[in-house]
Structures are given as C-alpha cells and as structure tokens.
Structure 1
Amino acid sequence: MNNFDFHNPTRIVFGEGKIAQLDALVPSNARVMVLFGGESARSTGTLGEVTAALGKRDIHEFSDIEPNPSFETLMRAVTRVRDEKIDFLLAVGGGSVIDGTKFVAAAALFEGDEWDILLQGGGNIDKALPFGAVLTLPATGSEMNQGAVVTRKSLKTKLPFRSQHVFPKFSILDPTKTFTLPPRQVANGVVDAFVHVMEQYLTYPAQAPVQDRFSEGLLQTLIEIGPQCLAEPENYQVRASLMWTATMALNGLIGSGVPQDWATHMLGHELTALHNLDHAQTLAIVLPSMLRERKAAKQAKLVQYAERVWNMTEGSAEQKADAAIDKTQAFFESMGVKTHLADYQLGEEHIDELIDGLKKNGMNKLGENGDVTPDMCRRVLQRSLR
C-alpha cells in the first residue's frame, strides 16, 4: 500500500424527507443561488421542497445546466453570481449539475481567465464559494468529492479539475428522488459507478486488501442491484443501495493508497466532447476494449477480479481474464447500455479526430503506469468498433 492523505469534509444527510434539513444546513442569512438542470426538478416537486426548506432566505435560480455541463453556460451563472452578490450555492440534480456548481463556486472568486482553471486541472484554485447539493441522480460521486469535469463546446474539449476547495459542505441523498428517473439515466448511473470502481481497483496488485475488498463489494453490489433498479423503480432499499454505492465509488476512500488508472475516462471524454454521447455510454464502449488491449499488464488483477467478483473457479489465468472482461461487457449490455461505436453510428472514420483530441489535451501518457499512449488508444477504439 502506498502512503496517502485522506480527508473528506462533506457531510452526508441520507434518507427520505431529509431535504427539510436545508434550513439547518444553509446559513440563515445566505443569498442562495439554486442551480439545476431543467424542468424535471420543478415538475417532480423537488425544487418546491428545496424552496420551502430554505424559507425566507434570498433565493435566486439558475436552471440551464446541461448534461456534460458547458463552460459557456457556467460562465453565465458566474456572471449572475457576481452581479447578484450570491454567497452560497445549492446544486439540485445529478453529477452534471454538481460538477457545474463546483466550477461556478471556484470561478466566481477566481482572478484571471476562468478557462485556466480547466487548463491547470484546478491546481490554481485558492478559494471557492461554499455550496451544498441535493442529489437526484446517483452516478458520479460528485456529491462527496473534490473533482468535476467541464466541456467547452466552442473548442470541443472536455477537461477535469480537482481542488480541496470544491468539496460540497453537505449533500442530501434522498433515494425517493430517484423514483421518477428514466431507465436510461438509471442504467447510466449503474455503469458510471461500476467503471469508477474499476478505474481504482483494476490496475496491479498493491498489497492493499482493505481497498480491494471494499471495491469488490461495491462491484458485486452493482451487479446484484443493477437489474433490480430497472425492474423495481420504486423499491426504496434498492435505490438507497444504488445511491450510496455510487457515492462510495468515488469519494476517495477506495482509491487511497492504491494506483489508479482513468485512461478509460480520458478517452471517453473525447467521445462526449466530439459526439455528445452520454458519459456512461462512452465508458461502456471503452472499458472492455481497454481491458483487452492491456490484458497482459493487468492480468494479475483481472484474475483476482474474475475470482472474487464473478466467482470464477475454473480455467487458466488467461481464460479467467478473458471471461471476466466478457462478463463485464455483458453486464453493461444487460443494463441496456451499448458497448460498440457502431451502436452510435460511429466508425473507423471518426477515430483520427478522437486521437487528435487526446493529443491536443495533453493526454499522451495515461493509465496507472503512464504507458497508455495515443497509439494504444487508437487500437482500443478499433477494438470497440463492432
């Protein structure tokens, strides 16, 4: 196990009816901007609950944050925050809304060109507005971490950033808020959380049994409850398990002291930036092929994954590795998330632009060993064609 420094300051308030606690969680004299993604927050009644819980505070709304939040949209929110002297932000939605709110929180107090926040990965953030979150879509773990991803549409570029200054002060997780989600979003959430765990777990042995067992438990939970989430949309216990699993998948705990990969995510970001695919769709396309391309380097962990997560006891190490990758791909397909570029009308002719995007964004040495090159990513995409 490697040395590490783990600190997570986000307070989690979990359970049905917990939105009412906003009155105690948000400063009583705050000028609050509530950020959300669209009319679903209003039509489902969630926004009404939030507004009622905030009481007589000075409340402003920003309702335009799109899936894969754009720099252009978020800068409009930053302008309003500055003009209206907002001093507390509240994200109501899923990972995109929370990611966008993190950027607004940092950019509103940033001195200089706000795009530099993304270009420098957040390393230049020295302060941010305080904010909280009301989670409505379990997937990204953004509700309990210090990372976010933002797309600049004009450049067709999607970049991540991280900073200790953008941890949410609190996040409210009410599983009932997921009951009305479309099946596609639920399936995406399961896949997203699954791949988050894989990026931190499936690297190479690091003598970290605690992190491994936590990760394997999360993966097995997603395999077990994924189909139930689709079949029983109002099963509170199943949705509660999904919500907490997705949060635990990327709150920093399982990644502490172990090598991490993230090559699948970086290549997936290019697919989203250039072709507007859902984030989870890109991960489902890339991960199986990425594992096949890097099977030799990852074989020890692939075998462990096969044995402990998929309960495979027969066959050679190579056979177990192959079977585990096949099982992973089949699981994504069973959730209704397609795993080939051809499923999204993308072919060989689109690969050059994707690889050029990686190079443009400096993604030349990815993976836990820094050996995932643009040429390797090209082979991964070719494996993913059909």
Structure 2
Amino acid sequence: MQSFELYNPTHISFGEGKIAELDKLVPQDAKVLILFGGNSAKSTGTLDEVKTALKQRDVVEFGGIEANPTYETLMLAVDVIKQQDIDFLLAVGGGSVIDGTKFVAAAALFEGEPWDILLSWGGKVTQAMPFGSVLTLPATGSEMNSGSVITRKEFKSKLAFMSDHVYPQFSVLDPSKTFTLPERQVANGVVDAFVHITEQYLTFPVNAPVQDRFAEGLLQTLVELGPKALTEPQDFDVRANLMWVATLALNGLIGKGVPHDWATHMIGHEITALYDVDHARTLAMILPGMLDVRRQGKKDKLVQYASRVWGITQGSDDEIIDAVIEKTREFFEQMGIQTRLSDYGLDNNSINEIVSQLEAHGMTALGENQDVDLAMSRKILERNL
C-alpha cells in the first residue's frame, strides 16, 4: 500500500425526511443563495421543502445550472452573490449543481481571473465561501469530495479542479428524492459511479487488499442493484444503497494508498465539451476500449476484477480479460447506455477533433503510468468506434 493522507470534513445527513435538518445545519443568521438546475427542483416540491426548512432566513434563488455546469452561467451566480451580499451557498440537485456551487464558492472570493482556478487545477484557491448540499441525483460523489468539473462553452473546454477549501460543510442525502428521476438519469448515475470506482481500482497491484475489497464490494452492489433501480423505481432500499455507493465511490476512501488512472474521464470530458454527450455515456463508450488497449499493464487487476466481481475464472488470462471487458460492456448496455462512438453519431473525423482537444489541453500523458499519449488515446477511441 502506498502512503497517503486522508481528510474529509463533510457532515452527512442520510435518510428520509432529512431535509428538515437544514434548520440545524445552516447558520441561523445566514443570507442563503440556493443554487439549482432546471424545473425539477421546483416541480417535485424539493425546493419548497428546502425553503421551509430554512424558515426565517433570507433566501435568494439562482436556477439554470446546466447538466455540464458552464463557467458563463456560474459567473452570473458570482455576480448575484456580490450584489446581494450572500454569505452562505446551498446546492440543491445532482453532481453538476454541486460542482457548480464549488466553483462559485471559490470564484466569489478569488483574487484575479476566476478561470485561473481551473487552469491551475485549483492550486490557486486559497479560500471559498461556506456551502452545503441537498443531493437529488446520486452519481458523482461531489456531495462528499473536494473536486469539481466545469465547462467553458467559449473555449469548448471541460476542466477539473480540486481544493480542500471546497468540501461541502454538509450534505443531505434523502433517497426518496430520487424516486422521480427519469430512467436516463438513474442509469447515468449508476454508470458514473461504476467508472469512478474502476478508475481507482483497475490499475496495478500495490498490496492494498482493504481498498480492493471496498472497491469490489461497491462494484458488486452496482451490478446487483443498478438494473433493479430501473425496474423497481419506488424501492427505497435500492435507491438508498445506490445513493450511498455513489458517495463512497468518490469520497476519497477507496482511492487512498492506491494508484489512480482517470484517463477514461479525461478523454470523456473532451467528448462532452465538443458534442454535449452526457458525461456517464462518454465513460461507457471509452472504458471498454481503454481496458482492451491497455490490458497488458492492467492484466493483474483485470484478472482479479473478473474473478471477484464477475466470477470469471476459466480460460487463459487473455480469454478472461476478453470476457470481463465484454461483461462490463453488457452491464452498461443493460442499463440502457450505448457503448460505441458510432452510437452517438461520432466517426473518424470526430476522433481527430477529440485528439486535437486532448493535445490543446495538455492531456498527453494520462493514466496511472502516464503512458497514455495521444497515439494511444487515438487507438482507444478507434477501438470504441
């Protein structure tokens, strides 16, 4: 196991009816900006429930944060903060709204051009506004981590940043708030969490059985419960366990002491920025080919993954790896998510554009060994065509 530091200050309030806890979690004298996405927060009654819990506090609303939150929209929220003298932020929504709120929290106090927050991967962030979240779409784990991904439409750029200053102070997780989600969003959330886990697990062995077993158990839970979330949408226990898996997938726990990959994410981000494909769907279209092209470097963990998660033990190592990659692809498709670039209207010209964007953004040495260069990225994309 590798050396590591573990820090996570986020308070989790989990369970049905927990939105009422906002009255205890948000300072009594706060002037609160509630940030949310589309109309679902209003139409489902969640926004009203949140405002009721906040009681007599001064509340301002900011809606319209996109599924891939944009720099342009978020800077409008920063303007509201300064105009209205806001001193506390509350994200109500999924990972995109929470990611956006993290950027707003940092940008509102940032000295200089806020785009530098992303260009420096968060390295220039020295402070941020306090904020919490009410999670309505489990997927990204943003409710309990310090990371955020933001798109700038002007540049067709989708960049990430991390900072200890942007951990949520608290996150409220009520599984019943997921009952009204469309199937597409439920499926996206399952696949997103699945790939978050594999990015920290399918690398190379470092004698870290605790993290491996955590990761494998979470993957098994997604395989078992993901399809049930689509066929039994009102099952509270299914939704509760999926919500907690998505949080654990990226709250820092399973990734400590082990190498990380993230090449699938970096390539996927470029596809979303260029073609506005759902983030989870870019992951589903990249991961199978990624594992295939890089099978030699990942062989030991792929064989372990095949055995422990999928029960595949018969055959040569290459046969086992072939089988487990196909099983992974079948699982994504069972969730209703297509797994080929061509399924989304992308072709060889698209691959050229994606590789050009990777080069422009300095994504020329990806993966746990920094060996995924532009030529390999092209090969991975072609393998998934």
TM range (shorter): over 0.9
- How far, CA to CA, are the matches of 2:321 and 2:211 in structure 1? 21
Q: What aligned pairs does 1:1-386 form with structure 2 within 5 A after superposition?
A: 1-385=1-385
- How far, CA to CA, are the matches of 1:28 and 1:102 in structure 2? 22
What SS does structure 1 have at the residue aligned with 2:328? helix
* Structure 1 residue 374 displacement after superposition: 1.0
Counterpart residue type for residue 97 of structure 1: V
- How far, CA to CA, are the matches of 1:2 and 1:132 in structure 2? 32
- How far, CA to CA, are the matches of 1:374 and 1:105 in structure 2? 34
- How far, CA to CA, are the matches of 2:128 and 2:356 in structure 1? 33
Counterpart residue type for residue 54 of structure 2: L
Name the % identity: 64
Counterpart residue type for residue 169 of structure 2: K
TM-superposition CA deviations, 1:104-160 (whole Å, max 9, x none): 000000000000000000010000000000000000000000000000001000000
- How far, CA to CA, are the matches of 1:69 and 1:258 in structure 2? 30
- How far, CA to CA, are the matches of 2:80 and 2:49 in structure 1? 23
- How far, CA to CA, are the matches of 1:361 and 1:86 in structure 2? 34
TM-superposition CA deviations, 1:25-64 (whole Å, max 9, x none): 0000001000000110000000000000000101000001
What SS does structure 2 have at the residue aligned with 1:90? strand
* Structure 1 residue 313 displacement after superposition: 2.1
* Structure 1 residue 314 displacement after superposition: 1.0
What SS does structure 2 have at the residue aligned with 1:176? helix
- How far, CA to CA, are the matches of 2:150 and 2:277 in structure 1? 14
TM-superposition CA deviations, 1:234-292 (whole Å, max 9, x none): 10000000000000000000000100000000000000000000000000000000000
What SS does structure 2 have at the residue aligned with 1:309? helix
TM-score, structure 2 normalization:
1.00
* Structure 1 residue 338 displacement after superposition: 0.5
- How far, CA to CA, are the matches of 2:156 and 2:230 in structure 1? 33
* Structure 1 residue 82 displacement after superposition: 1.2
- How far, CA to CA, are the matches of 2:338 and 2:123 in structure 1? 35
TM-superposition CA deviations, 1:76-115 (whole Å, max 9, x none): 0011111111110000000000000000000000000000
In the alignment of these two chains, the number of paired residues is 385
What SS does structure 2 have at the residue aligned with 1:296? coil
Counterpart residue type for residue 116 of structure 2: D
- How far, CA to CA, are the matches of 1:178 and 1:160 in structure 2? 26
User: Which ranges in structure 2 are unaligned for 5 or more consecutive residues?
Assistant: none
- How far, CA to CA, are the matches of 1:303 and 1:331 in structure 2? 18
- How far, CA to CA, are the matches of 1:117 and 1:375 in structure 2? 29
* Structure 1 residue 308 displacement after superposition: 0.4
- How far, CA to CA, are the matches of 1:275 and 1:382 in structure 2? 17
Counterpart residue type for residue 113 of structure 1: E
What SS does structure 2 have at the residue aligned with 1:148? strand
* Structure 1 residue 349 displacement after superposition: 1.2
| Structure 1 consecutive aligned stretches of length 4 or more whose deviation exceeds 4 Å | none
- How far, CA to CA, are the matches of 1:303 and 1:318 in structure 2? 9
Counterpart residue type for residue 253 of structure 1: L
- How far, CA to CA, are the matches of 1:202 and 1:302 in structure 2? 6
User: Which ranges in structure 1 are unaligned for 5 or more consecutive residues?
Assistant: none
* Structure 1 residue 201 displacement after superposition: 0.2
Counterpart residue type for residue 246 of structure 2: A
- How far, CA to CA, are the matches of 1:305 and 1:319 in structure 2? 14
- How far, CA to CA, are the matches of 1:3 and 1:66 in structure 2? 38
- How far, CA to CA, are the matches of 2:64 and 2:239 in structure 1? 27
What SS does structure 2 have at the residue aligned with 1:218? helix
- How far, CA to CA, are the matches of 2:118 and 2:98 in structure 1? 16
- What is the root-mean-square deviation in Å for CA atoms of aligned residues? 0.5
TM-superposition CA deviations, 1:282-311 (whole Å, max 9, x none): 000000000001011100000000000001
- How far, CA to CA, are the matches of 1:226 and 1:189 in structure 2? 9
TM-score, structure 1 normalization:
0.99
What SS does structure 2 have at the residue aligned with 1:380? helix
